[in-house]
């Protein structure tokens, strides 16, 4: 029978895991709301997303404090050490996803509700699914899922790349066919779509980071870190 000593310490580790997962849920909610605001042009929802970033930042800082307290006061070792180190890094990625969701809210406010690029929603859902899978892998300690997230990132990158090229190609073709067309408004729309695609691609990168740190946590394997 395994006797678990240091019960408060074990409870603190469990609480840290729950706090990181909760931060991840908040980031995913923000991402989904940002995508919906972009799709529908719902200005109230967009402002909610922008205002909601403060809560994510607060929780992120609280998790950092908790990690530092655990390191200073409990001196975790072995798998516990890797768990705290991974959590410390993962919460930064999740906070950055919150910032990117805020960007989506900003883009939604600067358009009339038509982002002009149908791929954005599908790509956004892919990025969200990647983040969800990485967070689940962290929560449940699933090393195989970590590797799957990393492998799938190339697909997301390719989707973003193709969508960006299409947007630029459309712009060039329209410019060639219509001399009077080159209005600042359309350029703004194109820039916004490109920025949106870049941000969603970065959400995917953060999902990979979460998976990479989780794999290190589980197997002391840094193969996915770069």
Partner 1 sequence: MQALDGVSMEIPAEQVTAMIGPSGCGKSTFLRCINRMNDLVEAARIEGELLFDGKNVYDGDVDPVALRRHIGMVFQHPNPFPKSIYDNVAYGLRVQNDTDNMDERVEEALKRAALWDEVSDQLDKSALDLSGGQQQRLCIARAIAVDPNVILMDEPASALDPIATSKIEDLIEELAEDYTVIIVTHNMQQAARISDKTAVFLTGGELVEFDDTETIFENPEYQRVEDYITGKFG
- Given the rule CB under 8 A, which residues bind partner 1? 1-6, 9-10, 75-82, 220
Enumerate the H helices of 75-183 as residue ranges: 78-109, 119-140, 143-177
By beta-carbon proximity to partner 1, the closer residue of 13 and 35 is 13
> How far apart are the C-alpha atoms of 168 and 22, rounded to whole Å?
38
Sole residue written with tokens 């805020």 = 102
By beta-carbon proximity to partner 1, the closer residue of 109 and 143 is 143
Q: What's the token pair of residue 201? A: 């691609």
By beta-carbon proximity to partner 1, the closer residue of 80 and 106 is 80
By beta-carbon proximity to partner 1, the closer residue of 10 and 114 is 10
| Minimum separation from the CB atom of position 18 to partner 1 (A) | 19
Tell me which long-range contacts 3-6 makes (C-beta under 8 A, separation of at least 24). Answer: 6/74
| Minimum separation from the CB atom of position 72 to partner 1 (A) | 12
Count of CB atoms within 10 A of residue 27's CB? 29
| Minimum separation from the CB atom of position 9 to partner 1 (A) | 7
| Minimum separation from the CB atom of position 2 to partner 1 (A) | 5
Following DSSP, what letter does each residue of 38-59 receive, concatenated?
HHH--HHHHHHHHHHHHHHHHH
| Minimum separation from the CB atom of position 78 to partner 1 (A) | 5
By beta-carbon proximity to partner 1, the closer residue of 81 and 143 is 81
């Amino acid at each position: 029978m395994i006797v678990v000593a240091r019960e408060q310490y074990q409870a603190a580790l469990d609480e840290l895991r729950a706090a990181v997962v909760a931060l991840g849920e908040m980031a995913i909610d923000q991402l989904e709301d940002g995508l919906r605001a972009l799709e529908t042009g719902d200005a109230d929802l967009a402002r909610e997303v922008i205002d909601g970033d403060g809560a994510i930042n607060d929780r992120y800082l609280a998790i950092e404090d908790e990690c530092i307290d655990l390191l200073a006061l409990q001196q975790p070792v072995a798998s516990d050490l890797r768990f705290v180190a991974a959590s410390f890094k993962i919460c930064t990625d999740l906070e950055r996803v919150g910032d990117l969701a805020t960007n989506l809210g900003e883009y939604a406010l600067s358009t009339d509700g038509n982002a002009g690029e149908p791929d954005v929603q599908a790509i956004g859902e892919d990025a969200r699914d990647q983040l969800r899978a990485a967070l689940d892998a962290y929560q449940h300690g699933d090393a195989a899922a970590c590797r799957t997230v990393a492998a799938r990132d190339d697909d997301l990158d390719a989707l973003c790349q193709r969508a960006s090229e299409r947007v630029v190609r459309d712009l060039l073709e329209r410019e060639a066919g219509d001399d009077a067309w080159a209005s600042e408004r359309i350029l703004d729309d194109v820039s916004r779509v490109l920025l949106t695609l870049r941000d969603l691609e970065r959400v995917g990168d953060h999902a990979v980071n979460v998976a990479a740190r989780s794999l290190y946590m589980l197997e002391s394997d840094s193969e996915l870190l770069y």
